Structure 1
Amino acid sequence: MGTEVHFTGAGHRRRVLVFPLPFQGHINPMFHLAGIFHSRGFAVTVFHAEFNAPDPSRHPAFDFVPVPDGIDIPPGAGADVGATVARILDLNRRCEAPFRDRLAALLESPGGGGGDVACLVADAHLLTLIDVARRLGVPTLALRTGSAASFRIFAAQPMLRDMGYLPARAVSELDNPVTVLPPAPYHVRDVTMQVGVGEAQDQINEIMSRAVDAVRASSGLILNTFDAIELRRDLAIQVFDVGPLHKLSPPASSSSLLQQERGCLEWLDTQAPASVLYVSFGSIANMSAGELVETAWGIANSGHPFLWVLRADLVRDAGAVATLPDGFDAATRGRSAVV
């Protein structure tokens, strides 16, 4: 087949294969999960795209199989939500054939433990790769790094469009109740996934649909959540709520793509228990300069101590740097930490 796959030699242990989506909020939970599998006695093989590739030296107990993706993104290139969605769809297409070759090589390799493969755990946004594994006879599980509630909204999008709730045609419709998703008191604004028009919105709809299809095609859904905050009955599929992954995984399981700021933990230790608001928009989402100002004053006017992870590139305007409004520091001094 022309594809060589090398392994660290994990004896005859059962092997779990993982394939993370190469973005900060997805790759970290997958490595936490892989660390949990390894701590329970499984050998772990990490298939990964070359884009945002993890560093194998940080996980010497895992085997790594790079999958060529042909994606060339210049350093510092911005990525709004629409561009990221397009990149994910492209990643699925580009990785399909090379992943098939490398997975088949593993399964056929006498020293690679192919016969002991328990399953593939792939990010739910990698439907194409989940389908490849299933066609090769490998049981699959989908990992959703978002909440059960968000997946329920994903799954309901076609029904909500068919019933006329979406898309909202006027701002006034955003407060209309959505009565077909009990028991939560949802409104249209809570279930709207509108980011644009035309091709951009079509891609958003496609990626949500594909994520739902990936879960339905797999043997079950792994969620980074737990029963105390989300009910299993909300999803009519086999669910494994194994979170919080960062608390359950070994300390060396992180594979963060970003430098972690730990100085804020000292400040956090000085605050009363359960008193601090944590604000983060992740590594991809962005907003306009006006929305940043409105968000900042909303946080300030809450009156609560807060820890805010403020990315420099949070503002989408060309060349803009996220800057807090005048008077914000004075209004929040003594009860804020912005990192």
Structure 2
Amino acid sequence: MENCGNGTRTHRRVVLFPLPFQGHINPMLQLANILHTHGFKITVIHAEYNSPNYSNYPHFTFKSIKDNFSEIADELATNPDGSYFINYLNRSCVDSFKECLSGLLDKEAVACLIADAGFYFTQAVADELNLPRMALRTSSLAASLVYGALPFYSNKDCFNLTKEDSDYEERVPEYPLMKFKDIVKITTNPQGMGDFVTNMLDQMKASKGIIWNTFKELEGSLLETFSQDYPVPSFTLGPFHKYFPASSSSLIQQDRTILSWLDNQPPKSTIYVSFGSVAHISELEFREVAYALANISLPFLWVVRPGIVRGSNWIEALPEKFLERVGDMGRIVKWSPQQEVLAHPATGCFWTHNGWNSTLESICEGVPMICSPCFVDQPTNARYVSDVWKIGVFLEDGFERVGIESAIKRVMMDKEGEEMRERINCLKEKVNQSLGEGGSSHESLKSLVDYISSF
């Protein structure tokens, strides 16, 4: 199962441990591939839940550990508190992870452990086993700064504001870019989220270094700010997915037939809609999306993940005769090869939940965004996309057809949209430069390889 790639390389083994959610598994396995191409042998320890497909990675060694996540997995569809699930995993995986890692160390020297920063318990295990631990932060630098600033303990009530509250539209004093209506989305449980954030950031500071899936030209100033309080080595070598041709560690079967449908659409004409692998929406919100897409009369590709609509299996909640009305102008699929869709000349904008992987992929292909964040880091990413980088429109007031249609027109038809496209194409060029010889991400990767080799 192991292959050092180049037979002359004799680098040591690196052990990686991703959180078992699509948005965390993807960048961890991408990082594993990057390190493998630089000669490191790779072992991936993973939870039972959302187990990766071993056959896609014959050059890695995989070790599965018990997580007991099946006891609460059914709650994912109804419980919007992300910290509940991650804090649970940080308790349930301790013994099985320690046993697995200890067994690996008995058999072979390991250079270091690279754990998802969200698996904060791993620092204590690594310390006990005298193994260097690095943290992979799979979200933006911006999100970590916002998490560190928000008053999860001192002002819990501000996370429960509604539209009727006078402060709902106001800026958050601790991080004035954000509005209170943004942080309401971040968590429904400020105590649990505060516990998670505190543990995660404390153990990032205690680690031997932090690896970021971002690039300096986008978040360099934020890295400088972060490093003032977290003086450990940081490596910004993203975007990870750009190191290889479009590949997939998707846990859901992709519908590739839509690529030929896109081939028949005019350049930059098509709205691509996808809200990621975890988010859920109500039947009413789903219908508002449908009405807006039908009314706008532009080609659209809409990813409707089975189960995304609460109470529905798939698309039963569509308005009557919706499919007949839109005809071949629109396509609905269960999952898509997203990198290829965003890179397609026909794709004109990306209506997204602003998970960090999706946000980066859109930047890399120069596709402006419509932002509908759901929870955790997504509202921060959306706020930076719309207000700082100015490469998208934030649908701040939820799924309402008139607002949706207005946002689509701003991106697809107005001069404002042309300016967004120019800015995001500039960032696309900066991505390519950062990954090239002498670029910031290229140099950061070289530094990371040298750093791991020094352990």
Q: Indicate the TM-score class for this superposition, using the shorter chain for normalisation.
A: 0.7 to 0.9
In the alignment, is the contact (CA less than 8 A) between 1:125 and 1:214 conserved in 2?
A: no
Partner residue of 2:241 out of 234, 238, 246: 246
Percent of residue pairs identical:
37
| 1:209 equivalent in structure 2 | 198
In 2, the alpha carbon distance for the partners of 1:21 and 1:261 equals 25
Label 1:223 to 1:156 Cα distance change in 2 as closer, same or farther (>3 A).
same
| 1:3 equivalent in structure 2 | none
| 2:258 equivalent in structure 1 | 264
| 2:51 equivalent in structure 1 | 53
2:183 maps to amino acid: V
Partner residue of 1:98 out of 93, 96, 121: 96
| 2:19 equivalent in structure 1 | 21
Label 1:298 to 1:122 Cα distance change in 2 as closer, same or farther (>3 A).
farther
- Aligned counterparts, 1:39-118, within 5 A: 39-72=37-70, 79-82=77-80, 85-109=83-107, 112=108, 114=109, 117-118=110-111
In the alignment, is the contact (CA less than 8 A) between 2:77 and 2:310 conserved in 1?
A: no
1:244 maps to amino acid: P
Q: CA deviation at 1:65?
A: 2.0
Label 1:124 to 1:320 Cα distance change in 2 as closer, same or farther (>3 A).
same
In the alignment, is the contact (CA less than 8 A) between 1:221 and 1:239 conserved in 2?
A: yes
Q: CA deviation at 1:299?
A: 4.9
| 2:226 equivalent in structure 1 | 236
Higher helix share: 2
Partner residue of 1:312 out of 303, 306, 310: 306
In 1, the alpha carbon distance for the partners of 2:153 and 2:73 equals 38
Label 1:211 to 1:44 Cα distance change in 2 as closer, same or farther (>3 A).
same
| CA-to-aligned-CA distance 1:113-140 (integer Å, 9 cap, x gap) | x1xx332211121111233123322222
Are 2:219 and 1:226 aligned?
Answer: no
Q: Quick one: higher RCO (CA 8 Å, sep 6+), 1 or 2?
A: 1
In 2, the alpha carbon distance for the partners of 1:52 and 1:13 equals 29
Q: CA deviation at 1:269?
A: 3.9
Residue 219 of structure 2 aligns to a residue whose secondary structure is coil
In the alignment, is the contact (CA less than 8 A) between 1:168 and 1:174 conserved in 2?
A: no
| 1:169 equivalent in structure 2 | 161
In 2, the alpha carbon distance for the partners of 1:278 and 1:208 equals 32
Q: CA deviation at 1:56?
A: 2.7
Are 2:184 and 1:192 aligned?
Answer: yes
Q: CA deviation at 1:236?
A: 0.9
In 1, the alpha carbon distance for the partners of 2:202 and 2:268 equals 38
In the alignment, is the contact (CA less than 8 A) between 1:142 and 1:220 conserved in 2?
A: yes
Are 2:134 and 1:141 aligned?
Answer: yes
In 2, the alpha carbon distance for the partners of 1:97 and 1:146 equals 27
| RMSD of Structure 2 on Structure 1 (CA) | 3.3
* Structure 1 unmatched ranges of 5 or more: 1-6
Q: CA deviation at 1:314?
A: 1.0
Residue 121 of structure 1 aligns to a residue whose secondary structure is strand
In 1, the alpha carbon distance for the partners of 2:95 and 2:87 equals 14
| CA-to-aligned-CA distance 1:249-279 (integer Å, 9 cap, x gap) | 4666x43221122222233344455554432
Q: CA deviation at 1:47?
A: 0.8
In the alignment, is the contact (CA less than 8 A) between 2:273 and 2:303 conserved in 1?
A: yes
In the alignment, is the contact (CA less than 8 A) between 2:149 and 2:174 conserved in 1?
A: no
In the alignment, is the contact (CA less than 8 A) between 1:280 and 1:308 conserved in 2?
A: yes
Q: CA deviation at 1:320?
A: 5.7
Q: CA deviation at 1:77?
A: 7.8
Q: CA deviation at 1:60?
A: 1.8
Residue 272 of structure 2 aligns to a residue whose secondary structure is strand
In the alignment, is the contact (CA less than 8 A) between 2:156 and 2:191 conserved in 1?
A: no
In the alignment, is the contact (CA less than 8 A) between 1:165 and 1:188 conserved in 2?
A: no
> What is the TM-score of this pair, normalised by structure 2?
0.61
In the alignment, is the contact (CA less than 8 A) between 2:303 and 2:332 conserved in 1?
A: yes
In the alignment, is the contact (CA less than 8 A) between 1:276 and 1:306 conserved in 2?
A: yes
In the alignment, is the contact (CA less than 8 A) between 2:141 and 2:222 conserved in 1?
A: no
In the alignment, is the contact (CA less than 8 A) between 2:3 and 2:60 conserved in 1?
A: no
In 1, the alpha carbon distance for the partners of 2:14 and 2:76 equals 34
In 2, the alpha carbon distance for the partners of 1:35 and 1:168 equals 42
In 2, the alpha carbon distance for the partners of 1:303 and 1:151 equals 39
Are 2:146 and 1:153 aligned?
Answer: yes
Are 2:280 and 1:291 aligned?
Answer: no
Label 1:58 to 1:331 Cα distance change in 2 as closer, same or farther (>3 A).
same
> What is the TM-score of this pair, normalised by structure 1?
0.79
Q: CA deviation at 1:29?
A: 1.8
In the alignment, is the contact (CA less than 8 A) between 1:14 and 1:118 conserved in 2?
A: yes
Q: CA deviation at 1:18?
A: 0.4
| 1:123 equivalent in structure 2 | 116
Label 1:108 to 1:320 Cα distance change in 2 as closer, same or farther (>3 A).
closer
In the alignment, is the contact (CA less than 8 A) between 1:278 and 1:307 conserved in 2?
A: yes
In the alignment, is the contact (CA less than 8 A) between 1:36 and 1:250 conserved in 2?
A: no
